[in-house]
Amino acid sequence: MTTRNGLLIDYEYCTGCHSCEVACKNEHNIPRGKWGIKLTEVGPWQVTGDKWEWNYVAVPTVLCDLCEDRVANGEKPACLGQCMEYGPVEELAKKMAEKGKKVTIFAP
């Protein structure tokens, strides 16, 4: 049985720096107007009083192959930042369950 790898994205800690987009574009020479991973912004909007909702969510696209060439050479995907983790989907699912919210898994 082959282990299926994926990308855990903890968007509670994403700061919207776009480094995942830039790293992916550089790694794969993706042209302007296309992305392997695209940062989206939800908010800001006022929930109540002084409480606001404002999230940045990195969304892998159909062009994302989880840097299969890099991974084959023992490297990690280029997009990985402080709010992302690469590994077996089963392990990432356990971490996701512990986290509880504002986290997602991408598994192509």
- Confidence band (pLDDT; 50, 70, 90) for 1? low
In terms of phi and psi (left: phi > 0; alpha: psi -120 to 50; beta: otherwise), the region of 79 is: alpha
- Which pTM value belongs to this model? 0.88
Per-residue pLDDT tens over the stretch 48-107:
999 999 999 999 999 999 999 999 999 999 999 889 999 999 999 999 999 978 999 999
Euclidean distance between CA atoms 36 and 43, whole angstroms: 23
The answer to whether 105 and 7 have CB atoms below 8 angstroms apart is: yes
Per-residue pLDDT tens over the stretch 83-96:
999 999 999 999 99
Euclidean distance between CA atoms 108 and 104, whole angstroms: 13
